[in-house]
Amino acid sequence: MRRIDYWIGVPLCVLGSIIHKTLKLFIRQDRPISKNVLFIELSEMGSAILVDPAMRKLQKEMGANLHFAIFKKNKPSLDLLKTVPEENIYTIREDNMMSFVLDTLRFLWWTRRRKIDTVIDLELFSRFTALLTGFSGAYNKLGFHAYYNEGLYRGDFLSHKVAYNPHMHIAKNFVALVNALLSLKEEIPYSKTKIMDEEISIAKVKFSADEKKKMIDIIQRIFEKYDSEQNKIILINPNASELLIQRRWPQENYAQLIKMILEKCSKAVVLITGDPREREEAQRLKEQVQDERCVNFAGNVTFAQLPLLYSISKFMVTNDSGPPHFAAITEMPTYVIFGPETPALYGSLGKTTPIYAGLACSPCVSASNHRKTACKDNVCLKVIKPEYVFEIIEPELEKN
């Protein structure tokens, strides 16, 4: 995808920018009031949660009809908070080139049929989304622009060029995009506003006792000795996206941490989570622990059921990946192990505690390097020892 984005994306962005600017010379249009707003974030499931405060602000301030474009496999992340109506979500299949091209062409028709007047491109790394934005037919086109900073060439399609701030949490950067649209005057660069911490709070979901009972029943089917009145569910997520495998804490460290949890707390039941494709890996971790209270739970709940699982769990220890962002919509504490990225920019907005060594080389991936790293040895995670993580989680483990 990166090779296609570079070798095809760059020339298309150059050509598209020329066409876009030429058309603007001959077509004059008054700026419309933003009624139908489309957010584009294709590849990051966690970002669908992190952008929620920005979307809710736009909805509150302008009463906008929200739309969203995302890769089909990542769509379930939008369904967790249901801020965007189902019928307003456009999905692009990326499983093969034919589907990808057809869905891209259909997108250009969909935006016009939906009368999209504003597009907000949330991506930092993709020229493809820049092209979708540029040819969407919308009058207002907002996104991050490098100006004199380092960054990818993404053409020149934007009506509102927002300066990405590499020292501010990505959720606040998303709010800055909305603030640019709300601005009553042109700014270079957008957005000359101060964004408070309260503006990036995440809406929470609540579950009834009957709904929680259904999840308890699922756990009891997998581990018959589980007693919801006596046991504490501790979640372990040892996985991370294939896009950046350097984010994975060593499996042997997870095994040692689980042993320490089970030894310390006789009421603890550890569930190793993951999707069905990660079940084999979870089984290897379970076999390393060799304790019946360590359960391979990968693939036993759907993505939509994750918040329900989180709502009955004591806490979760996880790599820096999607689950801590999905857990942010519940009250469950998370302990997130960071390495190549920094919690200052990508930390969960929930009840989270980042665990971060902060080596001189960290973080090594950013907006300026297309989220690529030369690192083949993630010492930034290896130096975080199980004993240190256990010391951090122990107070939560001891709570009733």
How much is the pLDDT for 241?
67
* Residue 272 C-beta-side C-alpha neighbours within 13 Å: 28
The domain spans of the chain are: 2-200, 209-398
- HEC string of the chain equals CHHHHHHCHHHHHHHHHHHHHHHHHHCCCCCCCCCEEEEECCCCHHHHHHCHHHHHHHHHHHCCEEEEEEEHHHCHHHHCCCCCCHHHEEEECCCCHHHHHHHHHHHHHHHHHCCCCEEEECCCCCHHHHHHHHCCCCCEEEEEECCCCCCCCCCCCCCEEEECCCCCCHHHHHHHHHHHHHCCCCCCCECCCCCCHHHHCCCCCCCCHHHHHHHHHHHHHHCCCCCCCCCEEEEEECCCCHHHHHHCCCHHHHHHHHHHHHHHCCCEEEEECCCHHHHHHHHHHHHHHCCCCEEECCCCCCHHHHHHHHHCCCEEEEECCHHHHHHCCCCCCEEEEECCCCHHHHCCCCCEEEEECCCCCCCCCCHHHCCCCCCCCCHHHHCCCHHHHHHHHHHHHHCC
Dist CA 42 CA 189 (whole Å) = 25
Dist CA 302 CA 298 (whole Å) = 10
CB 327 within 8 A of CB 344: no
Nearest to 353 by CA among 311, 397, 312: 397
How much is the pLDDT for 3?
80
How much is the pLDDT for 385?
97
Are 2-200 and 209-398 the same fold in CATH? yes
How much is the pLDDT for 5?
81
**CATH level 2 (architecture), domain 209-398:** 3-Layer(aba) Sandwich (3.40)
Q: Does domain 2-200 have CATH number 3.40.50.2000?
A: yes
CA angle 239, 217, 228 (to 5 degrees): 85
CA angle 131, 364, 282 (to 5 degrees): 90
Residue 179 is encoded by which pair of tokens?
Answer: 């603030």
Mean pLDDT by 10 residues, the chain (400 residues): 81 88 76 88 89 96 95 92 95 92 96 96 90 94 87 88 92 97 92 95 92 95 94 93 80 96 96 93 94 95 94 96 94 95 91 94 80 86 96 92
How much is the pLDDT for 30?
67
Dist CA 100 CA 120 (whole Å) = 21
How much is the pLDDT for 126?
85
Distances (CA, A) of 386 to 78, 256, 340: 34, 6, 18
CA angle 240, 242, 247 (to 5 degrees): 45
Query: What does DSSP say about strands 352-356 and 65-71: parallel, antiparallel, or unpaired?
Result: unpaired
Nearest to 383 by CA among 288, 236, 235, 250: 250
